[in-house]
Amino acid sequence: MSPRARKLGRGVALVGAGMSKFGAFPDKTSRDLFAEAFTAMSKSVDKGFDTNDIEALYVGNFSSDLFEGQGHVAPIMADWVGLVPKPATRVEDACASGGVAIREGIIAVASGLYDIVLVGGTEKMTNLPTEEVTDTLAAARDAIYEGAPGFSFPGLYAAMATAYMDKHGASTEHFMKVGIKNHNNGALNPKAQFNKSIRDLMDSRIEKAKQKGDPVPDWHEELDFLKDPKANPIVAWPMRLFDCSPITDGAACILLVAEEIAKDFANDPIYVVGSGQGSDHALHEREDLTTISAARFAGQQAYDMASVKPEDIQIAEVHDCFTIAELVAIEDLGFFKPGEGYKATEQGLTARNGSKPINTSGGLKSKGHPVGASGVGQVVEIWHQMRGEAGERQVPERDIRLALTHNVGATGGTCTVHIFHRR
Amino acid sequence: MSPRARKLGRGVALVGAGMSKFGAFPDKTSRDLFAEAFTAMSKSVDKGFDTNDIEALYVGNFSSDLFEGQGHVAPIMADWVGLVPKPATRVEDACASGGVAIREGIIAVASGLYDIVLVGGTEKMTNLPTEEVTDTLAAARDAIYEGAPGFSFPGLYAAMATAYMDKHGASTEHFMKVGIKNHNNGALNPKAQFNKSIRDLMDSRIEKAKQKGDPVPDWHEELDFLKDPKANPIVAWPMRLFDCSPITDGAACILLVAEEIAKDFANDPIYVVGSGQGSDHALHEREDLTTISAARFAGQQAYDMASVKPEDIQIAEVHDCFTIAELVAIEDLGFFKPGEGYKATEQGLTARNGSKPINTSGGLKSKGHPVGASGVGQVVEIWHQMRGEAGERQVPERDIRLALTHNVGATGGTCTVHIFHRR
């Protein structure tokens, strides 16, 4: 089914974006992280704004219910940044909660009901032991058809990865190369949870072994390190530890306003020109595990709304919860043909200095994946790159006019795609 | 702070509404209940429709995460009624999740992005033991400020009730009269969980005692029964068992379309003319426990948008999760002055044949309270009453042109108000 081409009732612009540091913060709750992101966002608004002028809040959150015993998070976040009595709504679509919150914020401004809307995402995950986090995240699978047989997400994505290998001839090395690239980017992102390259991690372990007088591992290239089962154990074959995004605490915020007032906030506003969202059956019910049809549906909607093509997009943040997910994403979005994503990655086309830089922030893999916040965090990177404020990781020698974000819930039960334009 | 008067970008109409039976259904999941509600809604659409024409789904759900171990419910519900690959979004604001889903559906149609949107609510609660349900619902309080001191919802509403008694001179009998009225209405609603009047319940217990040869209770009026601590034990004084809404499984669905195509669906569409939503601090941080300021804020927005006054509203479904909540609601909505709600109830003004019928469905108290579905269920009653299809419980001798729904999350951290108009 092809999505109906639609336009928003009026234009929407992005005039601010900021995030908390992503990482493990034992002393912080999701509300603390949210306030930190709100403060960072506030500082990014060129001409400033009055918090009282914000008319509504949409918060993406996967499950503070399960992680913190706290449902009904939206009014708490509203209270924490001074928005009471304004409407505050939580939206949830698993790991696409942030992307869906962005879409609701866009729709709300387009409806004419509000001119100024805050969109945020927040998740506090590291207070639970790792095994419990995996179980908690597993609430996003289909409890009846996928939960009962014992699937959790590493297993579900491993099924996608084996199908991809089988169909397209990719090897586990190709997955590893996604991780190497994203860690190279994350190493340049001070807000990333793991801001170290795989090479730096490898070198520091070698150094540590030397200092302790332990046998020095025989690692020369990153792939030597990643293929060593002691350094990079298998989680669910072919997905190893370094194919999985980490467990993360974090929050992100963006400010959306009606197009006609955008210049009251930003010197050079970024316009939301495309938005798409799709749903899909759970994984057990799909014919092809090497593509996410909700992503294709959402992408088509967003491209049609923006009247642009995949080749027009200059940079993208895509949902790399597992390394296989990035390969599927860059094919679903039409950046590369089916089965060509892993070759493009191997050729360096998706690197920061490649022709189609993907996940310059480090992606979920290296920047971190506080699930409900991740989709909003993607837009924070787009904001910095489009304004030329991404510091050391700024995409070189390019005037970025069109950028895209792609956020997936579970194994693709939900996907959102957004396209941003700097005029 | 007074809400800004706003209009929607384009008109939105209600063209179908239906619900599952509310009750305890050990063999049904939330997806089964949702499909049942969708089928009931489908049958209510005068001119029929093609499921393929539905462009998006909004689902209100408080916490299938906690109740069923199932997050990410929206695409599952979409799949269950045949909507894949359309966008499917869960919204959550505790017990106002349904009302907020309705608001998002309205906003989405008003934005121009969709013409036809399905809004539903679903919750499956009775699979957990009662005590665990109370704990699960307690996730909607502020975990830090209300949870740590041991508050759950009966206690929080009891605090509101004692404040109301102290300020306005009401007694526990006044709360009981809300319950008596709502059970009288629910007794006429075949989809209600408790479709028995308090008198019928009392009489059947007397009959049972006689049959067993037990001592016959000295009950003559409903109040005798409700004051007997064996029949109606204290839960959190002054709230007794019959002051509390039950634990319920259920779902409800409505179909919203753009005003200009409404007559392609319904002979006599009902137009959404007002929508409001507000947030508030948690209860511990409020100056006055006898009013919910989010409800006043939301009500004011809805009245302003609709250009009507409280006295214009002919019937209303309000959020009576506890009997005290109905008294606070009818005052917050401006139907009665502060401190006059309990007197109006005593005088029968809010009864089905009174001047301002409240909760003709039986309310959450008697119809049942499947939390994420309740706000959508309220609109199902409004739909039946406005069309003159409410059967035995039809409000007598009145042509209903303006009706209102009022849905509260937690102790008022969220409130939504909607106003419906039949031309």
pLDDT tens sequence across A278-324: 999 999 899 999 999 999 999 999 999 999 999 999 999 999 999 99
Polymer length of chain A: 423
Q: CA torsion sign, B384 to B40 to B295 to B307?
A: negative
pLDDT at B117: 98
Contacts of B113 in chain A (CB under 8 A): 6, 8-9, 107, 110
pLDDT at A1: 55
* pLDDT greater at residue A284 or residue B352: B352
pLDDT over threshold 80, residue B420: yes
| Options A174, A183, A319, A369, the catalytic residue | A369
Mode of pairing for the β-strands spanning A239-240 and A315-317: unpaired
ipTM of the complex, rounded to two decimals: 0.97
* DSSP state at residue B160: H
pLDDT at A2: 59
Tell me the pLDDT tens digit for each residue of B67-110: 999 999 999 999 999 999 999 999 999 999 999 999 999 999 99
Contact A72 B110 (CB under 8 A): no
pLDDT at A6: 74
pLDDT at B131: 85
> How many other CB atoms are there within 10 angstroms of residue B287's CB atom?
7
B74 touches chain A (CB under 8 A): yes
pLDDT at B318: 98
pLDDT over threshold 90, residue B245: yes
Which residue carries 């999505």 as its tokens? A3
Q: How confident is the model at residue A329 (pLDDT cuts 50, 70, 90)?
A: very high
SS3 A245: coil
Burial environment of residue B143 by CB neighbours within 10 A (0 to 12, 13 to 18, 19 or more): buried
> How many other CB atoms are there within 10 angstroms of residue A4's CB atom?
12
Tell me the pLDDT tens digit for each residue of B223-237: 999 999 999 999 999
Give the Cα separation of A400 and B335 in Å (integer).
56
Report the percent of chain A where pLDDT is more than 90: 94
Tell me which residue of B323, B317, B307, B314 sits closest to B232, measured CA to CA. B323
A282 touches chain B (CB under 8 A): yes
Best residue in B89, B128, B145 to probe A by mutation, most A CBs within 10 Å?
Answer: B89
- Average pLDDT across chain A, whole number: 96
Average pLDDT for B127-153: 90
Contact B279 A113 (CB under 8 A): no
Average pLDDT for B292-308: 97
Average pLDDT for A2-16: 82
Give the Cα separation of A345 and A45 in Å (integer).
35
Average pLDDT for B410-423: 97
- Average pLDDT across chain B, whole number: 96
Structure tokens at A177: 């190369």
Q: Give the distance, in angstroms, between the CA of residue B294 and the centroid of all CA atoms in the same chain.
A: 16
pLDDT over threshold 80, residue B308: yes
Tell me the pLDDT tens digit for each residue of A197-207: 999 999 999 99
Q: Smallest CA–CA separation between B202 and chain A, in Å?
A: 37
pLDDT over threshold 70, residue A3: no
Range B161-165 contact pairs with CB under 8 angstroms and sequence separation of 24 or more: B161/B238, B161/B239, B161/B243, B161/B322, B161/B324, B162/B237, B162/B238, B163/B288, B163/B289, B163/B290, B164/B289, B164/B290, B164/B324, B164/B327, B164/B328, B164/B342, B165/B238
* Residue of chain A minimizing CA distance to B109: A111
pLDDT at B9: 81
pTM to 2 decimals? Answer: 0.97
Average pLDDT for B342-364: 98
Q: How confident is the model at residue B6 (pLDDT cuts 50, 70, 90)?
A: confident
A230 touches chain B (CB under 8 A): no
B140 touches chain A (CB under 8 A): yes
Average pLDDT for A257-283: 97
Q: How confident is the model at residue B135 (pLDDT cuts 50, 70, 90)?
A: confident
**Of the listed ranges A46-60, A104-118, B128-142, the one predicted with least confidence:** B128-142
R_g (Cα) of chain B, nearest Å: 20
Average pLDDT for B329-337: 98
pLDDT at B5: 58
Nearest to B414 among A75, A114, A144 (CB): A75
Q: E strands of A44-192, at which residues?
A: 56-60, 88-92, 116-123
